[in-house]
Amino acid sequence: MTKLEHLQQLVTRLISCLETRSEIPDLESDALIYAGALLRRYRLSEETSAPQQLMVVGPTQSGKSSLVNLLLEEPLAEASPLAGFTQHPQGFSTDALSESQQLAIAKQFPDWQLKQTLDTEDPLGYTLRTISSAGTGFSVPTIVWDSPDFDSVSSRSYRQRVPVLCAMADLILLVVSREKYADQSVWQLLRLIAPLHTPLLICLNKTTLEEAELLEREIRQRLKKEQIEALDVISLPFVMGGEQLQATQGAAKLRRVISEQLGLQPQPFPANHLQQLLKQHWPGWTETVRQEIAARENWQSLVESTIDESIALYERDYLENPHYSDTLQRTLTRLLELIEIPGIAGGLVKARELLSWPARKLQAIYRHKSGKSASTSPDHEISVLTDAVNHLLLRLQREIGEQTVSGQSVPRWWQGLLNQFSSERKTIETQALETAKHHQQLFESEIENASQRLFNHLQKHPTTLNSLRAARVTADAAALAFALKTGGIGLNDLILAPAMLSFSTLLTEGALGRYMFTVEQDLKAIQLKAVRQQLFADVLKQALLGLPDKLSAPGLCRIDQQQLFAAESELEALTQ
């Protein structure tokens, strides 16, 4: 990223975040907008140079537009006695702008649109016209900006444009009348722009000769008390008609001071002043950001601890359950196939298929009539995993709900998370169940490996292997006899029962039993690791920790710790 881009991005995000929060004081909001525009100007100053810019600012009915016309010596800015008449920036350039200068002006107002005519319904429009500099008296190419007021009733919808204009100014001309010079809004603006030490000229407009000296002295004393620097305080008399005002000594002095100031060698951007301004307000601006980061860390801890609880439930109710048998029985079933005696095996398999056909046919007819599928009842592992996932989601939903009403410092964040969680819960639950079933399919390879390990071990112990084969033949014969008496009903469930009983007895005896226990423990460890990673980490944890990234409620900053750290690092290095 280019210089200060992280800092610029974070300030821009803060502006968007805080402007929707009514509890944020206007002073803090204006300072943030001012700082964002200053950062933009600082970065633009390294790319290209714009003409000198004079910003004419002031409260409503102070005579800003009339003063712009006085300086340009032409009635270009439309004046009106109505409060809040000028709501958009209107620029007048005394020289034609080059392509690079036009681009620089456009960049300093990135969210605004250059218009030919202004519409009060368009909040982000501005105009910029080129005029003849022959009669203006400016010694260098200059853009004179007529700005909106910042104190009328309607100004709340557009007053934030004034800090942006002040940030771009090479010279600020503050216009006040004898009725407005002491207004709180005027001094709030002066305090806002003071830290950058931008050249400031104050024009006391519409004064009588008797009161001019008194008011000038009072303004200078207030400036000194507030420690605000100003080039001068110049009074303009109240006269009827613009032509008479142009000929006054005050008007001549005002034009001269402005021309001399703009004609000076441009000074480097005061990066140290910008850094001081940012640091002064930084704790207040980023308080919400830090609270959101803390809330996100709290959420991450909740997810991780609740996932640990759910995994513990899976271990207790399935892996460590005394009736744990699903995985082991599937392993032994595969082992039964591996130790079939060549020659006899084929006949027994065919006999089992023929004898089990009536039962399978009857079961199929029953399922068709009842509308049940072959897998209507989930196995033990799927049932336990479903309970664990439900526990996880219910616990988290309850915890989020408690955070929204517990007086937390960022209730917006928790309420937004609750809304997002509720909208995605069903999707997360469905995806988790599908993952659990897929996990079982993938785990078949581990079952195959375990049965192969047992078979390889048995091959090294021929006596035990032959005993198991003998038990297998006996078990199959008994099962066939039982099936003949019962007509094959329930054969699929019963045919393995005698074999499993014989196998369980033989496999758990002596040294083979210890090896069997080792294989079982290895299977459980692999199964736990697979469930932890495939279901809880890759699906549930990823989906739940990703919910804060999707929050879009008004007033949320959504700035993470890494972005804050990068911005603060650039802030510290601003003057280096």
pLDDT single digits (tens) 197-250: 999 999 999 888 888 889 999 999 999 999 999 999 999 987 766 567 777 888
Question: Which one is predicted more confidently, 321 or 144?
Answer: 144
CA 9 to chain centre: 13
Mean pLDDT of 411-422: 92
pLDDT greater than 70 at residue 487: no
* pLDDT reported for residue 246: 78
- pLDDT band of residue 3 (cuts 50, 70, 90) is confident
Report how far apart, in Å, the C-alpha atoms of 418 and of each of 345, 405, 557, 558 are. Answer: 60, 12, 17, 15
Mean pLDDT of 335-341: 59
- pLDDT band of residue 111 (cuts 50, 70, 90) is confident
pLDDT greater than 60 at residue 488: no
Across 114-128, 180-194, 223-237, least confident range:
114-128
Across 19-28, 42-51, 260-269, 280-289, least confident range:
19-28
Tell me how far apart the alpha carbons of residues 547 and 56 are, in angstroms, rounded to a whole number.
Answer: 47
Burial class (CB in 10 A: 0-12, 13-18, 19+), 175: buried
Report how far apart, in Å, the C-alpha atoms of 168 and of each of 106, 163, 320, 466 are. Answer: 12, 9, 70, 94
| φ, ψ of residue 259 in degrees (nearest 5) | -60, -45
| Threshold 0.85, pTM exceeds | no
Q: Where are the domains of the chain?
A: 50-265, 285-571
User: In what side-by-side order are the strands of the sheet with 125-130?
Assistant: 113-114, 125-130, 90-93, 142-146, 52-57, 171-177, 200-207, 232-237
Q: What percent of the chain has pLDDT over 90?
A: 38
Task: Determine contact, residues 51/143, Cβ cutoff 8 Å.
Answer: yes
pLDDT greater than 60 at residue 532: yes
Tell me how far apart the alpha carbons of residues 339 and 12 are, in angstroms, rounded to a whole number.
Answer: 72
Residues 6+ apart with CB under 8 A from 345: none
Per the document, the length of the chain is 576
Question: Which one is predicted more confidently, 515 or 336?
Answer: 515
Question: Which one is predicted more confidently, 360 or 408?
Answer: 408
Strand partners, 126: 114
> Of 274, 297, 276, 302, which is closest to residue 562 (Cα–Cα)?
297
| φ, ψ of residue 237 in degrees (nearest 5) | -75, 160
Across 24-28, 175-179, 310-314, 376-380, least confident range:
376-380
Question: Which one is predicted more confidently, 60 or 80?
Answer: 60
- pLDDT band of residue 11 (cuts 50, 70, 90) is very high
Task: Determine contact, residues 207/227, Cβ cutoff 8 Å.
Answer: no
Tell me how far apart the alpha carbons of residues 90 and 109 are, in angstroms, rounded to a whole number.
Answer: 13
Tell me how far apart the alpha carbons of residues 560 and 83 are, in angstroms, rounded to a whole number.
Answer: 43
Quick count: other Cβ atoms within 10 Å of Cβ 536? Answer: 25
Tell me how far apart the alpha carbons of residues 557 and 413 are, in angstroms, rounded to a whole number.
Answer: 9
Burial class (CB in 10 A: 0-12, 13-18, 19+), 543: middle
Mean pLDDT of 47-72: 87
Question: Which one is predicted more confidently, 367 or 423?
Answer: 423
pLDDT digits (tens, 9 = 90+) for 499-528: 444 555 555 555 566 766 777 787 888 889
The three-state DSSP-derived secondary structure of 347-367 is HHHHHHHHHHHHHHHHHHHHH
Across 88-92, 108-112, 494-498, least confident range:
494-498
Secondary structure element (H or E) that encloses residue 171, with its range: strand 171-177
The mean pLDDT value of the chain amounts to 79
Residues 6+ apart with CB under 8 A from 402: none
Across 203-207, 363-367, 384-388, least confident range:
363-367
DSSP type of residue 96: P
Per the listing, tokens 């949320």 go with 556
Question: Which one is predicted more confidently, 320 or 10?
Answer: 10
Tell me how far apart the alpha carbons of residues 219 and 235 are, in angstroms, rounded to a whole number.
Answer: 11
Please give the CATH number for the structural domain made up of 50-265.
Answer: 3.40.50.300
Is residue 34 helix, strand or coil?
Answer: helix
